[in-house]
Amino acid sequence: MKALYAFILILLLAASAFAAPLSGTATGGGPIIVGTLADANNPAEMAMAPEYTRLAVVRQRTARSLNRLAASSETDPDRLEAALFSASAVQRAADEARAKLDGLAGARDEAAFRFALDEARDLIRRAETLCDHIAKGN
């Protein structure tokens, strides 16, 4: 796993070496990128990005743990059934959190946005706790 992470990091660093120059003037070769900074930033997007990330990772980790348990001949059926129950609960909590995150764009004001974001975070935390229990064999 660490080797995979190292490979991905090297890939990311190598990708940055091919980054296109950002310039408001025409240059020969490479894309021209013109845009204003003030219009490009969305605070809501930056608040939601970590939560979308947590969602994806908790689903991926749950899937891996469940696959590992299902593939092992040493896993007893009761443990697999318990893990399956928890994994289904992870999926449901993640779906509910995802619906809240997707609906945040329609929040009427900052207070409503914060409230809905906190609700989504609680659901994600619940999913993460269940995921950890599956991994530990609880």
Partner 1 sequence: MHVEQALTLAIALLQAVERALADGDSAVALTSALQATDDAAREELASAIADAELRLADGK
Site residues for partner 1 per CB under 8 A: 5, 8-9, 12, 15, 20, 31-36, 39-40, 45, 48-50, 52-57, 59-64, 66-67, 69-70, 77, 80-81, 83-84, 87-88, 90-91, 94-95, 98, 102
- Judged by CB, which is closer to partner 1: 20, or 112? 20
- Judged by CB, which is closer to partner 1: 76, or 110? 76
Question: Cβ 110 to partner 1, closest distance in Å?
Answer: 18
- Three-state secondary structure readout of 40-101: HCCHHHHHHHHHHHHHHHHHHHHHHHHHHHHHCCCCCHHHHHHHHHHHHHHHHHHHHHHHHH
Q: Please, what's the b/e burial string for 41-55 (b: 16 or more CB within 10 A of its CB; e: otherwise)?
A: eeeeeeebeebbebb
- Judged by CB, which is closer to partner 1: 83, or 117? 83
Question: Cβ 108 to partner 1, closest distance in Å?
Answer: 19
What is the spatial distance between Cα 12 and Cα 127, in angstroms, rounded to a whole number?
29
What is the spatial distance between Cα 116 and Cα 99, in angstroms, rounded to a whole number?
10
Question: Cβ 9 to partner 1, closest distance in Å?
Answer: 8
Question: Cβ 122 to partner 1, closest distance in Å?
Answer: 17
- Judged by CB, which is closer to partner 1: 91, or 116? 91
